[in-house]
């Protein structure tokens, strides 16, 4: 929808996924810059909200990662705080977590994140967790970079935005999860 506004062809999900995976973009505005479109991030967020609402009202809904409910419930039972940091709108994340039945497992949500590094550091600080004791599970290259930059343990989920091959090529030393339910194995 964004690309059409600039007379660029619409991408299939597979084309978008490949570009996003290869470039490791963390936000809609950084993705648009691949095409030479440089917009004010506030305008992009507002447009994203509008388009996201249109798409989800037509029945297309994001799906929870494989094993996420199991992994999140385990973390809750162990008393391990879970925060969510995303470039997606805050209200979308809150609604999706409620729809997935995992809201009670999440202690903090930071949507509309312009800097995952900064927000991860602040989330650790607010939770009283030293970054070296934190694990940051993400599905994009900037997630891994954010974790590494503050000294947290990065873990890549391979069923999300970035393909396993691109993650392994860039970060062969990072634990990879095909299914979120394996998070307990990394902690115990």
**What is the per-residue pLDDT for 133?**
95
The domain ranges of the chain are 3-57, 68-187
**What is the per-residue pLDDT for 71?**
93
Tokens linked to 7: 């007379």
**What is the per-residue pLDDT for 25?**
61
pLDDT (tens digit, 9 = 90+) per residue, 160-188?
878 888 889 889 999 999 988 888 899 87
**What is the per-residue pLDDT for 57?**
82
Q: What is 68-187's CATH number?
A: 3.40.50.1000
**What is the per-residue pLDDT for 26?**
58
Q: Report, as ranges of residue numbers, the positions in the chain whose pLDDT lies below 70.
A: 1-2, 13, 17, 20-27
Instruction: Kindly write down the DSSP assignment for every residue of 42-61, as one continuous string.
Output: HHHHHHHHHHHHHHHHTT--
């Amino acid at each position: 929808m964004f690309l059409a506004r600039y007379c660029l062809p619409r991408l299939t999900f597979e084309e978008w996924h490949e570009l996003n995976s290869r470039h490791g973009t963390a936000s809609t505005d950084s993705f648009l810059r691949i095409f030479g479109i440089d917009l004010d991030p506030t305008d992009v967020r507002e447009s994203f909200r509008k388009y996201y609402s249109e798409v989800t009202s037509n029945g297309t809904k994001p799906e929870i990662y494989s094993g996420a409910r199991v992994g999140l419930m385990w973390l809750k039972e162990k008393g391990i705080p879970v925060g969510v940091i995303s470039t997606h709108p805050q209200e979308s994340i809150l609604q999706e977590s409620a729809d997935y039945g995992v809201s009670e497992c999440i202690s903090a949500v930071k949507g509309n994140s312009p800097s995952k590094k900064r927000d991860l550091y602040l989330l650790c600080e607010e939770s009283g967790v030293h970054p070296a004791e934190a694990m940051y599970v993400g599905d994009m290259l900037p997630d891994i970079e954010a974790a590494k930059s503050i000294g947290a343990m990065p873990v890549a989920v391979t069923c999300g935005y970035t393909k396993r091959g691109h993650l392994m090529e860039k970060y062969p030393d990072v634990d990879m999860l095909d299914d979120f339910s394996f998070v307990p194995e990394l902690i115990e």
